[in-house]
Amino acid sequence: MSTLNALATIGASSKCLLKSSISTKSSAVVLTNFFRNYATSQPEVGGICIANDEVKAFIERSMTAVGTRPAHATALAENLTMADYRGHFSHGLNRLEMYVKDIQSGITVSDKEPVILKESAATAHVDGSNLLGPIVGKFSMEIAIKKAKEAGVGFVSAKGSNHYGIAGFYSLMACEQGLLGMSFTNTSPLVLPTRGRKACLGTNPLSLAAPGKGVDTFVLDMATSSVALGKIELNAVKKIKIPRGWGADGTGHVTEDPDLCIKEGGLLPLGGAEETSGYKGYGLAMLVEIFCGILSGGEFGPRIRKWKETNRVANLGQCYIAINPDNFAPGFTDRMQILMNLCRQSDLAEGEKEILIAGDPERKHINKCDRAGGITYHPNVIALLDVMADKLKIERIVVKK
Report which of 398, 384, 393 is spatially closest to residue 38, judged by C-alpha positions.
384
pTM: 0.88
Angle between helix 96-105 and helix 379-392 axes, rounded to 10 deg: 20
Q: What is the DSSP letter of 311?
A: S
Confidence of residue 109 (pLDDT cuts 50, 70, 90): very high
So what's the pLDDT on residue 19?
36
Angle between helix 25-41 and helix 229-238 axes, rounded to 10 deg: 110
* pLDDT surpassing 70 at residue 33: no
CATH (one of 3.40.190.10, 3.30.1370.60, 3.20.20.60, 3.30.360.10) for 115-226+268-327: 3.30.1370.60
| For residues 113-122, average pLDDT | 98
Averaged pLDDT score across all residues of the chain? 90
Name the fold adopted by 3-108+367-392: Hypothetical Oxidoreductase Yiak; Chain: A, domain 1 (1.10.1530)
Q: Tell me the domain boundaries of the chain.
A: 3-108+367-392, 115-226+268-327
Estimate the share of the chain in helix, then strand, then coil, as percent rounded to the nearest 5: 45, 15, 35
Contact 224, 281 (CB under 8 A): yes
The whole-angstrom separation of Cα 276 and Cα 145 is 38
Q: Which residues touch 64 (CB under 8 Å, ≥6 apart)?
A: 70, 73
So what's the pLDDT on residue 10?
42
pLDDT (tens digit, 9 = 90+) per residue, 262-320?
999 999 999 999 999 999 999 999 999 999 999 999 999 999 999 888 889 999 999 99
* pLDDT surpassing 60 at residue 162: yes
pLDDT (tens digit, 9 = 90+) per residue, 371-395?
999 999 989 889 999 999 999 999 9
* pLDDT surpassing 70 at residue 29: no
